[in-house]
Amino acid sequence: MKDKPELAKPVYRDGDLRIGVYVCHCGKNIGGVVRCEEVAEFSKDLPNVVVSRDSLYTCSEPGQEQIKTDIREQKLNRVVVASCTPRLHEPTFRAACEAAGLNPYLLEMANIREHCSWAHLHDKDLATEKAKDLVSMAVHRAALLAPQFELTVPVKRVAMVIGGGVAGIQASLDMADAGYKVYLVERSGSIGGRMAQIDKTFPTMDCSICILAPKMSEVGRHPNIELLTLSEVKEVEGHIGNFRVKVLKKARHVTKECTACGDCTSACPQLAPDEFNAGLSIRRAIYMPFAQAVPSRFLIDMNQCLNNQGIVACDRCFQACSNKCIDFAETDRMLELEVGTIVVATGVDVYDPTALTELGYGRFPNVITTLEFERLINAGGPSGGELIRPSDRKRPEKVAFLQCIGSRSKRSNPYCSNVCCMNTVKDALLIKEHWPETEIYVFYIDIRAFGKGFEDLFQRARREGVTFIRGIPGEIIEDINSGNLKLLGENTLLGTPYRYDMDMVILSVGIRPRSDAGALQRLLNLSTDTDGFYMEAHPKLRPVDTTTGGVFLAGAAEGPKDIKDSVTQASAAASRANILMSKGEVKVPAITARIDTNKCVACGMCARVCPYHAIEGSKDLGYYRVIEAACQGCGACVPECKFEALDQAHFTDAQIVSQLDQALEKDPNSKIICFACNWCSYAGADFAGVSRIQYPANVRIIRTMCSARVSPDWIERALIKGAGAVLVSGCHPADCHYNNANQNTLKRVEKYWKRMEKLGINRDRLRLAWISAAEGAQFAKVIQEMESGIRKLEPKAIEVAAEALTKRKTKKVEGS
Amino acid sequence: MKIWNFFPREALYECYQCARCTGSCPALEVAPAYGPRETILKCLNLGHEAVVQDEKIWLCCTCNVCEDRCPQKIPISDLLVALRNSAARRGNIPGKLSIAIELLAKTGRSMIVHQLDEMRAHHGLDPLPPAPVEEIRQILKKTKLNEVIDF
């Protein structure tokens, strides 16, 4: 006989089920729409319910105490809380259950706020009926819950920081100082990022590089920090506490012995635009990114060097180098690093205003961007800190700043870029400081001086004679002979048109997510908001966490922010990572797949779809088994099993089917069953609620971890029970939180469509929609569309379809 | 006439008065008092009733430059067309414009062309061919211009 592992058995049998139901008013958030007393009264008659209460705030201390008391005194062994989304308070109520001695997995939540009261604000009757349905679904599911025991996994006390700007530097130092090893991965040749390019900082007018450089050198010499420049993250595997990261370290072609003497660069014949100076000056093919660069070593840009691809056509730098530290033979290397936590601090790109043709950027030499201006006015910049205009290198006497270029616009970025107003005020003051007679005009829509010391700086600029004019010019016209610029527009406060002649125009450009932010987003399974910035796990309470455990956000990659906010957030992210590493272990949710080895016929289908290679076994062994520490709990394998040998803990077939049956208990023809994945679509539906986007109340949402958990059998059951329509929704392809497990969803739904067509069933009744966590409006739109589809359905057609499916099913059972 | 049936009113709420439209407006060259920004603001704050009384809306030549440069993609030309339709129905139509339309309906041309014929003869050109007056009248009637101007 083979040695087969035992399956955990449920502790409680049906006879002794004692369920407590708690309906939360959430102040007026739920109570203002749903009649909570009525829902609590209704719940009393549900099977196995022994206690049913409503309370103003269930999550409050007294609310939680009530649950604990009832668990002890009423001997409750299941708890159902009808309140907000489980994505918010499930941990709270689980902790309450655990404190009273109940296994936390015996808690079930009904989402009657985000998915009910907030989404159906104007129909109290419908909302109350829906809340009853949701509670009933939760009670029936609760009856089938089993206690689960979470596995503890060790957390490697090593961190990786991606991005070496000020946020990445701060996060690295904070973790390294706490005693943990840190890999700082930077794409360019030096750390420093955007802050190194800026001349002064607002509102204190500190010299930017002067305050950054000491931190940069600290990173360079810190014993706990391994700095990887010219490096990019290429692959990420694993999970919280145990990530395996492949980093491509590109060849620098200059060895550690480099003393930064600069003899090589004067020998180099190849020229290229200097990226650090925003293209305003030239550098050689062998160059130092900037004077204060860390590591303080030269590097060869192989795209410019004549010795590309192993052909040595020129060795002038090699000849010039007295230390012999130039190595043309160095190759790119792929490093494999094991880390426990990751901080993402990849920063932002600058908006390119070329598309706004009326402003003439790129055509008129004297129209420049703020980043270019920062380099122009910097003592280390191309003009040595002299304010000159590009066309004739003369000092401009009249300078204009144009605000909101590339921000707050449907033609570019819809959001406010947060830093441009104060940056302009600072720049204007800088000019006034050195050349007080310069006339400065700032054309603005609103000046947003919201931070500490910002308003002071703004008022100072006005006192020093900077003219602020409300109204952005519609057009800039260049005088070809002089290079001067004519600005046409309207002063909206005076209501009069203006024409200003300027010597130079500076476009205060906005900031936008890195153009390649998507690559890292997919590697780390992050979400992005509608603007393309990485999304935090909760906008208020988990602002530096991501939905991927062990991955944290710092700096402007999460949203536009200034240096102070970036540093604050970096320290917060480091602190969050430090908590994990200091504890050294973390509990992972007990929602893994389980195989009943008695039923398993070792066909291996499950192992084939597992995105984590977490199922092992063979024909010879006679069964397959799940490696629990590797299983991430997507459930993609379960629908693949034709022998009912597989199930997912806490998301069992029986539990989901019980929810389904309850949802379709009354008036099934008018109902939409929605299977939503935890990370994107369920969160998207939550977001619709939070945004108070209204949609039809006849949708019943059933949560799975991944859309790949959705079994075609559930769809069939819903249609046989007469559900009007079924929606399967998940993350966008390539955004799946389980390594593209949702490609299985697509396959299965497509297969089911074919079956429906074959049986003459209207295939529109089954819909597949990719809805991200930020697409609340999209969720509502899909439900609206499906609702109008249902209205056109004949009850007879639903009946015929159900019959056809039942017949097919019985035939199949008899056949096997 | 319900003007907001012809123009999505919500689009106006997107306007944050940056004045790029007015700054781009060619009408500004000839009539410095006019601007789409002000028109939108008045629609929002005073209601379109007040705007349609104002003769300035007839200065727009629907060149669409404002719309092209509007950061919020507000269909400003459509707004002006809707406003002028509404204004015309209330009888707020500039005298010169109604004369031109009357002329168009009666002679098939929007200006008097006798002198033009003399000029053409001087240069040895044939007189202008007769305009298809009846066809033009039919077209004008289809656009319901006859409900606004008698011709």
Q: What is the pLDDT of residue A9?
A: 42
Q: What is the pLDDT of residue A815?
A: 64
> What would the two tokens of residue A370 be?
């703020």
**Domain limits at B12?**
3-89
Q: Is A327 left (phi over 0), alpha (psi -120 to 50) or beta?
A: beta
The A residues from 365 to 404 touching B (CB cutoff 8 Å) are: 404
The B residues from 40 to 69 touching A (CB cutoff 8 Å) are: 65-66, 69
Task: Please tell me which residue, A734 or A87, carries the higher pLDDT value.
Answer: A87
Residues A195 and A307 in one domain: no
Residues A178 and A104 in one domain: no
% of chain B at pLDDT higher than 70 = 99
Split at pLDDT 50, 70, 90, the class of A334 is: very high
Question: DSSP character for A289?
Answer: S
In the predicted model, is pLDDT for residue A754 greater than 80? Answer: yes
Q: What is the pLDDT of residue A91?
A: 93
Q: How many helices (H) and strands (E) does chain B have?
A: 10, 0
Number of domains into which chain A is organized: 6
% of chain A at pLDDT higher than 90 = 89
Rounded CA-CA distance A443/B70 in Å is 16
* Cβ contacts of A445 on chain B, cutoff 8 Å: 16-18
By the CB < 8 Å criterion, does A414 face chain B? no
Verify whether the Cβ–Cβ distance B20 to A497 is below 8 Å. no
> What would the two tokens of residue A602 be?
């070792």
Residues A467 and A524 in one domain: no
Verify whether the Cβ–Cβ distance B20 to A472 is below 8 Å. yes
* Cβ contacts of A446 on chain B, cutoff 8 Å: 16
Rounded CA-CA distance A471/A403 in Å is 9
Mutate to test the interface with A, among B20, B29, B44, B73 (most CBs of A within 10 A): B20
Verify whether the Cβ–Cβ distance B22 to A474 is below 8 Å. yes
Q: What is the pLDDT of residue A816?
A: 56
Beta strands in A416-534 (DSSP E): 439-444, 467-470, 475-478, 485-491, 496-502, 504-509, 511-513
Q: Which domain CATH number covers B54? A: 1.10.1060.10
Verify whether the Cβ–Cβ distance B19 to A490 is below 8 Å. yes
Q: Mean pLDDT throughout A674-687?
A: 95
Residues A314 and A205 in one domain: no
**Domain limits at A263?**
252-330
Residues A396 and A421 in one domain: yes
Residues B12 and B68 in one domain: yes
Verify whether the Cβ–Cβ distance B24 to A445 is below 8 Å. no
Would you tell me how many other CB atoms lie within 10 Å of the CB of residue A27?
10
The kind and range of the H/E element at B104 are helix B95-107
Q: Which domain CATH number covers A619? A: 3.30.70.20
Residues A484 and A523 in one domain: no
Verify whether the Cβ–Cβ distance B71 to A411 is below 8 Å. yes
> What would the two tokens of residue A14 be?
């049906």
On whether the CB atoms of residues A413 and A404 are closer than 8 A, the answer is no
Verify whether the Cβ–Cβ distance A490 to B16 is below 8 Å. no
Measured between alpha carbons, how far is residue A789 from residues A295, A670, A766, A783, A784 in Å?
Answer: 63, 10, 11, 10, 9
Q: Mean pLDDT throughout A622-636?
A: 89
Rounded CA-CA distance A29/A769 in Å is 29
Verify whether the Cβ–Cβ distance B20 to A474 is below 8 Å. yes
Verify whether the Cβ–Cβ distance A497 to B32 is below 8 Å. yes
Q: What is the pLDDT of residue A80?
A: 97
Residues B29 and B85 in one domain: yes
> What would the two tokens of residue A657 be?
């089917």
Task: Please tell me which residue, B91 or A348, carries the higher pLDDT value.
Answer: A348
- Please name the residue of chain B whose CA is at the shortest distance from the CA of residue A404: B18
User: Which residue do the tokens 């739920």 mark?
Assistant: A30
In the predicted model, is pLDDT for residue A7 greater than 70? Answer: no
Verify whether the Cβ–Cβ distance A404 to B19 is below 8 Å. no
Would you tell me how many other CB atoms lie within 10 Å of the CB of residue A231?
22
Verify whether the Cβ–Cβ distance A472 to B25 is below 8 Å. no
Q: Mean pLDDT throughout A622-635?
A: 89
Interface confidence (ipTM) of the complex = 0.87
Residue-wise DSSP of A209-277: HHHHHHHHHHHHH-TTEEEE-SEEEEEEEEETTEEEEEEEE---SB-TT-----HHHHH---EEE-TTT
CA Rg value for chain B: 19
- Please name the residue of chain A whose CA is at the shortest distance from the CA of residue B23: A489
Residues B79 and B108 in one domain: no
Nearest to B131 by CA among B146, B151, B111: B111
Residues B76 and B140 in one domain: no
Dihedral (Cα; B127, B128, B129, B130), 10-degree rounding = -110
> Nearest Cβ partner of A408 from B35, B66, B71?
B71
> What would the two tokens of residue A322 be?
């007295």
Would you tell me how many other CB atoms lie within 10 Å of the CB of residue A5?
10
- Please name the residue of chain B whose CA is at the shortest distance from the CA of residue A408: B71
Residues B72 and B108 in one domain: no
Rounded CA-CA distance B141/B149 in Å is 10
Mutate to test the interface with B, among A492, A493, A505 (most CBs of B within 10 A): A492
The kind and range of the H/E element at A431 are helix A420-434
Residues A85 and A190 in one domain: no
Residues A804 and A669 in one domain: yes
Verify whether the Cβ–Cβ distance B73 to A475 is below 8 Å. no
Q: Mean pLDDT throughout A640-652?
A: 94
* Cβ contacts of A470 on chain B, cutoff 8 Å: 19
Verify whether the Cβ–Cβ distance A474 to B16 is below 8 Å. no
Residue where a domain stops, chosen among B89, B107, B137: B89
User: Which residue do the tokens 């939550």 mark?
Assistant: A686
> What would the two tokens of residue A266 be?
């004067």
Residue where a domain stops, chosen among A551, A569, A588: A588
> What would the two tokens of residue A618 be?
């063979």
Would you tell me how many other CB atoms lie within 10 Å of the CB of residue B9?
14
Residues A146 and A156 in one domain: no
By three-state DSSP, how is residue A372 classified?
helix
For A99-133, letters b (16+ CB in 10 Å) and e give ebebbbbbbbbbbbbbbbbbbbeeeeebbbbbbbb
- A109-123, pLDDT tens digit by residue? 999 999 999 999 999
Residues A781 and A669 in one domain: yes
Verify whether the Cβ–Cβ distance A409 to B72 is below 8 Å. yes
Verify whether the Cβ–Cβ distance B22 to A471 is below 8 Å. yes
pLDDT, chain B, mean: 89
Verify whether the Cβ–Cβ distance A411 to B73 is below 8 Å. yes
By the CB < 8 Å criterion, does A488 face chain B? yes
Residue-wise DSSP of A688-737: HHHTT----TTEEEEEESSGGG--HHHHHHHHHTT-SEEEEEEPPTT--T
Residue where a domain stops, chosen among B44, B67, B89: B89
User: Which residue do the tokens 């692959």 mark?
Assistant: A235
Verify whether the Cβ–Cβ distance A446 to B25 is below 8 Å. no
The B residues from 5 to 44 touching A (CB cutoff 8 Å) are: 14, 16-25, 28, 32, 35, 37-38
Q: What is the pLDDT of residue A12?
A: 47
> Nearest Cβ partner of B73 from A410, A445, A496?
A410
User: With helix as H, strand as E and coil as C, how does A45-84 read?
Assistant: CCCCEEEEEEECCCCCHHHHHHHHHHHHHCCCCEEEEEEC
Residues B80 and B66 in one domain: yes
Q: Mean pLDDT throughout A270-289?
A: 95
Verify whether the Cβ–Cβ distance B24 to A412 is below 8 Å. no
* Cβ contacts of B25 on chain A, cutoff 8 Å: 474
* Cβ contacts of A488 on chain B, cutoff 8 Å: 23-24, 28
In the predicted model, is pLDDT for residue B1 greater than 60? Answer: no
Number of domains into which chain B is organized: 2
Dihedral (Cα; A163, A168, A171, A173), 10-degree rounding = 110
Task: Please tell me which residue, A508 or B35, carries the higher pLDDT value.
Answer: A508
Residues B75 and B113 in one domain: no
Question: DSSP character for A370?
Answer: H
* Cβ contacts of B73 on chain A, cutoff 8 Å: 410-411
Residue where a domain stops, chosen among A491, A512, A533: A512
Lowest mean pLDDT among A35-44, A255-264, A540-549: A540-549
Residue where a domain stops, chosen among A512, A545, A561: A512
Residue where a domain stops, chosen among B48, B65, B89: B89
The A residues from 156 to 185 touching B (CB cutoff 8 Å) are: none
- A223-248, pLDDT tens digit by residue? 999 999 999 999 998 889 999 999 99
Rounded CA-CA distance A76/A83 in Å is 19
Residues A324 and A240 in one domain: no
Residues B71 and B107 in one domain: no
Rounded CA-CA distance B124/A26 in Å is 90
Residues B9 and B54 in one domain: yes
Nearest to A155 by CA among A580, A730, A607, A771: A580
Beta strands in A370-483 (DSSP E): 398-405, 439-444, 467-470, 475-478
Q: What is the pLDDT of residue A8?
A: 40
User: In the A/B pair of chains, how many CB contacts fall below 8 A?
Assistant: 69
Lowest mean pLDDT among A544-548, A713-717, A749-753: A544-548
Q: What does DSSP say about strands A107-111 and A78-83: parallel, antiparallel, or unpaired?
A: parallel
Rounded CA-CA distance A458/A447 in Å is 9
pLDDT, chain A, mean: 93
Lowest mean pLDDT among A639-648, A705-714, B32-41: B32-41
Q: What is the pLDDT of residue A15?
A: 59
Nearest-neighbour CA in chain B from A117: distance (Å): 26
* Cβ contacts of A496 on chain B, cutoff 8 Å: 32
